[in-house]
Structure 1
Amino acid sequence: MNAGHAPGERRPGGALEAEVLGILQSTPQALTPGEVLQRLSDDLSYSTVVTVLSRMFDKGLLKRGKQGRAYAYAPVADTHGLTARRMRQVLDSGSDRESVLARFVEDLSLQDEQLLRQLLGGLPDQE
């Protein structure tokens, strides 16, 4: 099967990772590279799938455990958790957290700002 691109054509950056992550998030148990390969919509080599899974593990997107001679991989969080994790990583990479957070809040829609205030109001103060 082909995922909408011609044979030999490169996928857009991150597309294979996104597809692999979707597969792993749609199953309750960890999957081995061979099991991921069976579920992918493209004809890829086993070594390509191992490489992608290893890189995703190195990025902190996946956890893994031994299953026979291979590793079995699972996401570290659901979609929302991974998005929050990426937001934290971007925030952590800046030198002026206050300015970054202030700009973020300024750019929120009124509805998102109200939701954020509601969520923060429900959290205990940590001093």
Structure 2
Amino acid sequence: MRRLGDLEAEIMDRLWSWNRPATVREVVDDINETRPIAYTTVMTVTNILYTKGWLRRVKHGRAWLYTPVRSREAYAAALMEDGLGESKDRSAALVHFVENMSDDEVAALREALRNVGRQVEADP
């Protein structure tokens, strides 16, 4: 999976944070609170995200309402998977990754592994 570009990530971040459908106008207005950006630029990049499968859209009057197809967490997981794929030794890469985790992150990882283990046992 290709990492999102800066503006793509900025748009997706807003949509993930808002957790509701939004128009390009809403995204533009929010970005313009911190820096100027043209409506057409955001419209073009939002359409690109739709074409790439990152967003779904439904017509609402004359505007499109956009919502993310994948969660922020699914995106982060895909990036981690890609990172692991770059290594010839996935186990060693995982060890280095875990060595840099905080105690809270290691605890969360242990819990996730326990939960995945329960799901695998439950599946026929």
The answer on 1:62 being equivalent to 2:55 is yes
Superposed, 1:1-127 pairs within 5 Å as 14-40=5-31, 41-87=34-80, 90=82, 102=91, 104-109=93-98, 112=106, 115=110, 117-125=113-121
Is there any run of 5+ residues in structure 2 with no aligned partner, and where? none
Higher relative contact order (CA 8 A, sep 6+): 2
Alpha-carbon spacing, 1:42–1:83, altered in 2? closer, same or farther (3 Å): same
For the Cα contact (< 8 Å) 1:37–1:46, is it kept in 2?
yes
Secondary structure of the structure 2 residue equivalent to 1:124: helix
State how far apart, in whole Å, the 1-side matches of 2:13 and 2:62 are: 24
| Structure with greater helix share of residues | 2
Distance 1:37 1:120, change over 3 A: same
CA change 1:76–1:37 in 2 (3 A) is same
C-alpha distance 87-54 of structure 1, shift in aligned 2 (>3 A): farther
Gaps of 5+ in 1: 1-12
